[in-house]
Structure 1
């Protein structure tokens, strides 16, 4: 039996084969939908809040130094170290003061011995009152000299007057200490303050004990505090009043110099606003903030927003960019790009 090759069948079959291969390649190239969580946003009433940029300050700052001169022979702490009240910080060579104390002790013993012998004569009437007063004076002077020498020895060791963090170490072993010259700076941070500048038009809303919310970007954490200091004197250049919000800092995470955002609710008034979880907001390399929305075709749409204040439940109030009914991606957005297919 002979087979006759028909080119027509090959020509007809080839386009079908190509189309089939293209469909398979298209199916392989299409990415799988990204699993996300959606939140349909709507406006709600929220208190009208005043927002300020502030700085974290220590509760207390102490500059301490030696009360006597000398050469430092020991430094026990370093910058950044936490120290407790009464802990040794440094000491100076006290040899000179120890010798002075020995001399004072000898002088006191001599004066007391002479006083005891002359007292017997005075009681018998054999010693003039003037001479007896002189020896009493010498004993008192010898005792004072001993106390001074003992204090100099005690002052040769420098102890922490408060518990806190060593923020500055200004001495080294072998350097010379002098009275009135700071050797260390200690900042007390069990409590800290968020200091803000309040304009004259808004200072009337500040009340002692009023609750404030303080967001610290470095820690990405919101902390509740209370207004504890309202300076009655405005700054001459800015006409703003310094207000301090006291914050508990048992964890020692809040450090002086950190930037803080302070929100203080007004006593009256509500405003309509839209808020989304803070985790839903994405920031790009240029510092632009946006969220991803889901459109009716279940495609991701990148939408620029203007974030506002932080609410008490770690949500961000959106000033611009969202409207009621928008479906915001609140989980899985880190794997999205504009136009990605979504699955819920």
Structure 2
């Protein structure tokens, strides 16, 4: 009896163990990892109204820069100033040898005196009926011609010297004593630098000319002060293009602050127009295959695993940002970190 119970207990025990083994859970299988996927980061695309800067360059000058010259030709007798010298308005700067011009004045005066005597004699003869009215009229005409010739000679004598037309400094001396100069040839250049009325003369193409207005804000930089940006404003815009360059000339008034400027310094100009344009902003690192104003960005597809390459039009670059004309109007995020390692057939994993 006991043996039969023992056998039954063994059978039940073995059955229980087999049932427990049969219910043992199978281990879950992990998803395979795509080791070829490139880890990337996404950055939101920003959009807003911005002023597209206009870049140009020119030379610094003063608003009242004058190129002084002699009215007549002659030999330079004396130059009374040197480059860099301060002058006052009306100061004598240079003169010609007056031998020839004084002789011309004397000749014109003698001719005037003669025609005057002839006219007076003709008037007396007309009263005595010894001269005709026509003869008297001819004498009057001769006197008037002689008078005008005398006025011309004395006027030229006055401008056989150069006097300062304003207070300032001599920035260039273009002649030397003893040289023969022609009428109107620049001899001395002076400016009113003491008034701090500095400006930059620039040329604008037609596409920029239509966007610039008088009063637009300007930033001016120079190699002389590489870490200083001078404030300025557009003061003049020409309505006609230069016949040689085809550019529209404009002037920018510069505030030098406490810095010392000089005529002839090369300056870079960035004009900030008041008119604003709708632009999209992405980090520069998102751009790939850039060529001029054309570039591409990578955009993740909806599955977050594949991507597409989108063509964009660059407006300008500033700092670490790229301002775009078009291409990302329907895009909310672009790929930044990792974009340099991507192709159109790449798979990606997005890092947070």
Partner of 1:54: 57
Describe the superposition over 1:170-199 as per-residue Cα deviations: whole angstroms up to 9, x where unpaired. 211122222243323345655333356778
TM-score of the two chains, using structure 1 as the length reference: 0.52
Partner of 1:334: none
2:258 aligned with 1:255: no
2:216 aligned with 1:213: no
Distance 1:241 1:105 in 2: 50
Distance 1:77 1:123 in 2: 60
Cα 1:81–1:111 change in 2 (3 A) is same
Distance 1:205 1:145 in 2: 53
What displacement does 1:157 show?
0.8
What displacement does 1:233 show?
7.9
Of 123, 130, 137, the residue aligned with 1:126 is 130
Cα 1:62–1:113 change in 2 (3 A) is same
Partner of 2:308: none
Describe the superposition over 1:149-175 as per-residue Cα deviations: whole angstroms up to 9, x where unpaired. 212311211234455543332211122
TM-score of the two chains, using structure 2 as the length reference: 0.51
What displacement does 1:92 show?
0.7
What displacement does 1:90 show?
0.8
Distance 2:116 2:241 in 1: 63
Of 185, 189, 199, the residue aligned with 1:193 is 199
Cα 1:252–1:120 change in 2 (3 A) is farther
The RMSD of aligned alpha carbons is: 4.4
Q: How does 1:88-167 map to 2 (within 5 A)?
A: 88-161=92-165, 164-167=168-171
What displacement does 1:74 show?
0.8
What displacement does 1:94 show?
0.8
Describe the superposition over 1:292-332 as per-residue Cα deviations: whole angstroms up to 9, x where unpaired. xxxxxxxxxxxxxxxxx9xxxxxxx9859xxxxxxxxxxxx
1:183 is paired with a residue of what secondary structure?
strand
What displacement does 1:111 show?
2.3
Cα 1:196–1:215 change in 2 (3 A) is same
Structure 2 unaligned spans of 5+: 1-49, 282-316, 322-352
- Please say if residues 52 and 197 of structure 1, whose CA atoms lie closer than 8 Å, have aligned partners that are also in contact: no
What displacement does 1:260 show?
3.8
Distance 2:148 2:165 in 1: 26
Cα 1:270–1:194 change in 2 (3 A) is farther
- Please say if residues 112 and 139 of structure 1, whose CA atoms lie closer than 8 Å, have aligned partners that are also in contact: yes
Q: How does 1:37-52 map to 2 (within 5 A)?
A: 50=53, 52=55
